[in-house]
Amino acid sequence: MIRRFLAAKPLQACKLVAVVCILAIATLGFFRILPGQQLRVLLLVAFLGPVLALVVLAEALVAGYRTLRSEDDSPTDRLAARPAYTVVRAVEVVVPLLAGGAFAVLIATLSDEPMSGPGAIGLLFVGVGLGLLALVSILVRTLAEYVLHRRNLPRQRTDDVAS
Please state the domain extents for the chain. Answer: 2-153
Q: What percent of the chain has pLDDT over 70?
A: 94
Segment 97-119 mean pLDDT: 86
> Tell me, what DSSP letter sits at residue 114?
P
CB 45 within 8 A of CB 21: no
- 139-158 mean pLDDT: 80
Q: Is the pLDDT of residue 158 over 80?
A: no
Contacts 24+ apart (CB under 8 A), 17-23: 18/48, 18/52, 19/52, 19/135, 19/138, 19/139, 19/142, 20/139, 22/48, 22/135, 23/135, 23/139
Stretch 56-64: mean pLDDT, rounded?
A: 90
